[in-house]
Amino acid sequence: MLTSTEVPMLLQRLHIHNGYRPLHQPRFYYYRSAFLLHNELINVWTHFLPIVLLAYYYVIPEIQSETPRFPALVLHFGTACLMAGSTIAHLLHSRSPLDHVFWFCVDFAGIGIWSLCIGLQRFSAEHDSGLLFDLLYLPSLLIFVIPIQFMTTTVFFVTRPHWKLRHLIRLLACLIMAIYLNAPLTRRFWTIPIETSPSLQMHSKSFQWLLVSGIFMGGNVPERWAPGIFDLVGYGHQLFHLCIIMVAWNLVDAAHLDCDLETASPFLPKNLATLIVLFIGIGVIFETIRRLMRIAKEKYQ
């Protein structure tokens, strides 16, 4: 493994001095590195294992049930995209600067799809939200997730990767998006005591874990306090992954309680609208990546 001085600046993590994989190796080397000790190993497994658990404990039982609930499956799809995008990005990004940009754009795409699916699941599962809300929420959800969260993250990552304000903008965009995703729950938070509603407690915990995750993502702690000590185990991004697992876990458990048989069918108007918005969002996300990679190839090839 290499030190931080032996890899390009783009591939360096702040305050992480050792454990970098060599560049320009055959692709199979990076797949095999899932079983080698390096500074991305824990990041790979902390998001791969949850995919297996999600499938075994949530997706398969939902599909095998007599009436699979469409809103719950939408959230499970988004959660799987988040975990899979992160897993593959941390596994393969070290091959070259161009690989680094591409795979982390895929990672950001997974985050964007997950965010979109959280909003869509909450929209589909809520009852009596009102006609005006139903008409306005889905178009505005696309605005909050795609331009505000996803595009600000990816565009600055590709065009201005070393800009100091980039991470602050990313954190603020994610916070704005997270607050907006709670809009479908507002009526319940106002009318139902949270101590009487297990699902609202889980939604609240997921938001709290998200706030905690921002400390590790934005603060680079604890490695900034002891550079070189947490190179392999315990640095901020690894702890961020653990917090995101808690966010996702609370969300899927809350969805299990919120999604009932009345909203199960994919042919309900709300669910059909949800599906259309999901396809539009995914299409915009991947078209954005395609265009940004043209810029990245000019910079890094």
90 labeled binding residue: yes
Secondary structure percentages of the chain, helix, strand, coil, to 5:
75, 0, 20
Task: Judge whether residue 29 has pLDDT over 90.
Answer: yes
In which residue are the tokens 């265009």 written?
291
15 labeled binding residue: no
The pTM of this model reads: 0.96
67 sits in the region (left: phi over 0; alpha: psi -120 to 50; else beta) called beta
Q: Is the peptide bond before 222 cis (omega within 30 degrees of 0)?
A: yes
Task: Judge whether residue 218 has pLDDT over 90.
Answer: no
Asked if 264 and 69 touch (Cβ cutoff 8 Å), the reply is: yes
Interstrand relation of 2-3 and 18-20 (parallel, antiparallel or unpaired): antiparallel
pLDDT confidence of residue 300: 87
pLDDT confidence of residue 131: 76
How do residues 153-211 score in pLDDT, each as one tens digit?
999 999 999 998 998 999 999 999 999 999 999 989 999 999 999 999 999 999 999 99
Asked if 87 and 104 touch (Cβ cutoff 8 Å), the reply is: no
